[in-house]
Amino acid sequence: MAEDYRQMWTELGLDLPSHDALLGVLGQAYGDIYLAQKDRPEGMQYFDFVMSEVHGLRIKELRDAQGNDRKVIGSFCVFVPEELILAVDGISVGLCAGTEFGFDKAEEVLPRNTCALIKSAFGFKLGKVCPYVESSDMIVGENTCDGKKKSYEILKDLVNNLFVLDLPQMKSEAGKALLKAEYQRFAKALEELSGKKITMERLKKGIELVNLKRKAIHRLSDLRKNNPVPISGLDALLINQVFFYDDPVRFTASVHKICDELEDRVKQGQGFRAKETPRILVAGCPMAVPNWKTPWIIESSGAVIVGEESCVGERGTQWLTDESGDTVDKLMDNLVERYFQIDCAVFTPNPTRLEHIKELAKKYHAQGVLHYNLQFCQPYQIETGPVEKALEDEGIPVLRIDTDYSQEDAGQIKTRVEAFIERIGDGR
């Protein structure tokens, strides 16, 4: 860290020895995985800086904002509408849930066969090493999978202000009505917390800011259609991960800056790898910071990731919110329409997700799809079978990976990925 933030971390109640150990491990991993890449775009220096200060300068910014009467809202899921948070001049941040830390403490309150993402969220809290949790004025949970909805019954006693959104499980008019009612309830809670009223002007501005952020990611995604691909999948994933942490205006400008550079690379025929490099689409569970194991294995084995069908990827950013409307209620309807399209695996039935994977595979000229599942994530694990059959029937090879946040299976995964890359390479 360029500045000593230890006093700030102490005030937040972090366990400094454990936090130091965590930052040491993450710093080493980041250097080995990201900084070891060859000929990276210069624009990635900004995102490297963000990661180097992710527990430092960004946390200081949040605390400074709180000193100016702004509220920090932490969340775990793309169903939490940032537009509403911005409409009360709040700051939306993603919470720590991407590495195997504090699992021993988490397993004191959760079953061992709970998915790694949930255990990680609890491990960070119980281990006192996530400054985002400790900086949040409100933490928003959401009733997606059964694991999350039951775990929030425990989490509510561990954090100061937990708000749980109830989400529909079926794409029906009743489901849409439920989502609107829950967003209205969330909006009221934000107004009460902030002391600021959500007006049409404020909400419209929030929608515009988030749409601009999503459009920047769309531009980045479109550039990955090119052959050769101008940016590694690892770097593109990192940008998608930073989407949930950074100031929205600054983030949008930084993404457009790197896209300008990538467009020049495309014109010059310059790519992350050669044209003949096998192209892989990753689908399935989200990959929160610093969950980089499987993408690193894929790209260090000779392939390139060209897209992510994931909440940290196209499922999270695909749709824009309609900005038209001259009342809060109309804009709220627009929000509901936008978020109701998200094809999370908790929905049943969920045919649009399968169609989206097919569409992305064609859009990015992927030669194969790696379906990534966290162990014990039943919704995505169950959907893998139908997805695999449908894609293979259309001649799109699929590799299913079930894993967690540990490194114990890295060698086995690498062997399987290498065989898959050889398979799709032979099919060119």
Nearest of 363, 376, 372, 425 to residue 397 by alpha carbon: 425
Place of tokens 């949970």: 141
Quickly list DSSP for 220-261: HHHHTTSSS-SS-HHHHHHHHHHTTTS-HHHHHHHHHHHHHH
What's the CA angle centered on 293, arms 292 and 295, to 5 degrees? 70
Residue 189 is given by DSSP the state H
Which residues contact residue 421 at a Cβ distance below 8 angstroms, ignoring those fewer than 6 apart? 278, 280, 298, 301, 302, 303, 368
Q: Determine the pLDDT at residue 3.
A: 65
3-state class of 162 per DSSP? strand
User: For the chain, what is the mean pLDDT?
Assistant: 96
- Would you state the pLDDT for residue 2? 45
Question: Which pLDDT value is given to residue 428?
Answer: 53
Interatomic CA distance for residues 319 and 306, integer angstroms:
19
DSSP assignment letter at 283: E
Q: What contacts 249, CB < 8 A, 6 or more positions away?
A: 209
Distance of CA 53 to the CA centre of its chain: 18
Decide: 403 and 371 in contact? Cβ < 8 Å.
no
Q: Is the pLDDT of residue 279 over 60?
A: yes
At residue 168 the predicted structure's pLDDT band, cuts being 50, 70 and 90, is: very high
Confidence of residue 425 (pLDDT cuts 50, 70, 90): confident
Expressed in angstroms, the distance from the first to the final Cα of the chain is 46
Are residues 100 and 405 in contact, defined by beta-carbon separation less than 8 angstroms? Answer: yes
Neighbours of 31 (CB within 10 A): 11
From the CB of residue 112, how many other CB atoms can be counted at a distance below 10 Å?
9
Q: Which positions ≥6 away from 379 have C-beta within 8 Å?
A: 144, 145, 344, 345, 346
DSSP line for 214-226: HHHHHHHHHHTTS
d(CA 279, CA 198): 45
- Distance, CA of 38 to CA of 152 (rounded, Å): 42
Return the closest-CA partner of residue 46 out of 298, 202, 238, 290.
Answer: 238
Sheet holding 368-374, edge to edge: 304-309, 279-284, 368-374, 398-403
Model pLDDT, residue 427: 61
Distance of CA 205 to CAs 60, 88, 217, 426, Å? Answer: 25, 11, 19, 50
pTM of the model: 0.97
For residue 414, pLDDT over 60 is answered with: yes
Q: Are 88 and 202 in contact (CB under 8 A)?
A: yes
Rounded-to-integer distance, Cα 19 and Cα 40, Å: 29
Tell me the pLDDT tens digit for each residue of 323-381: 999 999 999 999 999 999 999 999 999 999 999 999 999 999 999 999 999 999 999 99
Distance CA 303, CA 276 (A): 9
Query: What is the Cα–Cα distance from 263 to 35, expressed in whole angstroms?
Result: 22
Pairing of strands 72-75, 304-309: unpaired
Instruction: Give the integer Cα–Cα distance in Å for 275 and 269.
Output: 9
Measured CA to CA, the distance from residue 372 to residue 399 in angstroms comes to: 8
Average pLDDT over residues 99-114: 96
Question: Any idea which residue has 């366990």 for tokens?
Answer: 15
Q: In this structure, what token pair is assigned to residue 419?
A: 């065989």
- The structural domains of the chain, ordered by start, are 6-41+68-197 (3.40.50.11890)
**pLDDT mean over 309-334:** 97
Mean pLDDT over 160-186 rounds to 97
Is the pLDDT reported for residue 1 higher than 90?
no
- Tens of pLDDT, residues 44-98: 999 999 999 999 999 999 999 999 999 999 999 999 999 999 999 999 999 989 9
Instruction: Provide the pLDDT for residue 426.
Output: 72
- H or E segment to which residue 381 belongs: helix 378-393
The pair phi, psi for residue 120, each rounded to 5°, is -65, -45
364: phi then psi, degrees, rounded to nearest 5: -100, 10
Contact 186, 84 (CB under 8 A): yes
Q: How far is Cα 221 from Cα 21, in angstroms, rounded to an integer?
A: 35
Say what the pLDDT of residue 37 is: 96
